[in-house]
Every structure is written in structure tokens, then in C-alpha cells.
Structure 1
């Protein structure tokens, strides 16, 4: 997705899940972010997912993102970001730079039906954050 989505805010429900090395479920979450852009929502899910992984004590993380632009914001060395996304980028980068290994990579949206289903729940849930342990 290109940066044009930044100009079109809408209601955002984001999702994330933690799986082990064999792709077995560990935990998941859906997060209602209210009215925001797609890119802000993706950054929000990255922050929430990394915080959960850290709190659960994981030390080796493969962060999979389906938005190339957000992936580049987290991995590029440039500091030329839009002001509205800059604080979230800084939060995500500070989480990534903790004492653990985080490898970020791109995956296609269609490759993760489970996370997509959780996102739909996030659009309509009443509470800000819901964690799914099973």
C-alpha cells in the first residue's frame, strides 16, 4: 500500500497473534483503534504485539507485516517521516531495540486468515483490547 492511505482515516480494528516456531497458537489479540489510518493501525498492532511478546519472555521474534511501507519505516535508517506517525514509529523501534532478536519480514495479507478474522472482531468490539489465549 502506498502512503495515500494516510489521507483517508476510517474505523480500524487491528489484530495480532503469537505463534511458536512450528506455527502453533500461543496467544492473539484484537485491538480497536477508533478512527485512524491503515498505517497508524499497523504501527499500533506492531507495538501491541511486541509488548506482548516481551512480557511473555520471548527472546527471538519474527515480526511478519503485510504493509511494505510500515515495514520500511521500522527498518530504514532515514528519519524523514510524517509527523502523525513519527511517535508510533519511535515506540516500535524502541521495542525492537530491546535486548532480544527481532527479524522483520513482509508477508502477504492473504497468507494469514486467522489474523484477518481477529481484525474484523477489533472493528466492532466494545473494549479497547481483547486477548485470546485459546
Structure 2
């Protein structure tokens, strides 16, 4: 069963590497101002901050909360399939994090929330944290890039050039 924890750590306004042996998943949703279509972006990185992969997909016209829920669900599914056993999830949607940590996914009428609960009940360690938006810039960039440019699912083995610039800036500050 997943171990859910909300970190009470002191946070700064920058992204931080996960603990050695853990993988960090940052996720975010975005809505295009031009088309009102929503998309999600997710980024996986290891303890030294190196890119393990990223994923973006456009979802259509849905609420921002449902976008964030879908981003978490897809991120957990991918993490489980890849075989990550220790996952630190960071999300800038405080309501979603609060619902997950309080067990609200169990009784939810949203199918995706029930699926999240099911995934979290598997045999792995998952830490869930709320973070300020300023710590989620790469995932936010991935989601916004997708919203503006494509309707297909994209898996990024390597970060895009624009994401590399953001990552290098973050790593310089660490």
C-alpha cells in the first residue's frame, strides 16, 4: 500500500531534487486561452535532477480540477507501469492534494479519483506534496506547450529545447 504523506518541510520558490532512490513526478494542467482546450504535462526526474521522461496530452474542454485529477491519474499509471517503487508527487493544486491526503479519493463520485485511490493502495511508496506554482514551472511549460501545439499524446524521452532552458535555470539555482 502506498504511504501518503504531506510534507511539512520549509519550501522555497524553486524546484528541489527528490531523495536518492526516489523519482519525482511534477504534474500540471493548462487551458489554452485561444481554444479553451485543456492539456496536461508531467515530468519525471531522478535524485540528481536529471530528466527521466515527460508526457503531454490534450484533453478537450474540461474543468481545471478534472485536468489536475487526470494529470495525477496518468502520472501514477505511468509510474507504476515503469516500475518506480518510490515516487514523490508534486502538484500545485491544493484542493486535489488535500483530498488525496484526507482519503477523499475513496468516496469520490469522480471515476478518476477512485482509480487514483486504487493505484495508491498498491505496494509502493508515494509521497504527495502541494507545492507553489513557482516550483512547477517545467510541468506547467509542458502542459501549456501541448495546449498550444498539438492534439496528440507525446512522450518525451528528452526534454524539448524550451524545457531544457527552464531545467538548466532551475539546476543552476540548486
| TM superposition score category, shorter chain reference | 0.7 to 0.9
Q: Which one has a larger percent helix, Structure 1 or Structure 2?
A: 1
1:113, distance to aligned residue in structure 2 (A): 1.8
| Partner of residue 17, structure 1 | 43
How many residue pairs get matched? 121
Q: Which one has a larger percent strand, Structure 1 or Structure 2?
A: 1
CA distance in 2, matches of 1:109, 1:91: 25
| 1:87 aligned onto 2:111 | yes
1:34, distance to aligned residue in structure 2 (A): 0.5
CA distance in 1, matches of 2:64, 2:103: 22
What TM-score do the two structures reach when normalised by structure 1?
0.83
Unaligned stretches of 5+ residues in structure 1: 1-9
RMSD: 1.5
Runs of 4+ in 1 over 4 A off after TM superposition: 78-81
Q: Could you say which structure has the larger radius of gyration?
A: 2
Q: Map of 1:1-134 to 2, 5 A cutoff?
A: 10-78=36-104, 81=108, 83=109, 86-124=110-148, 125-127=150-152, 129-134=153-158
1:112, distance to aligned residue in structure 2 (A): 2.2
What TM-score do the two structures reach when normalised by structure 2?
0.65
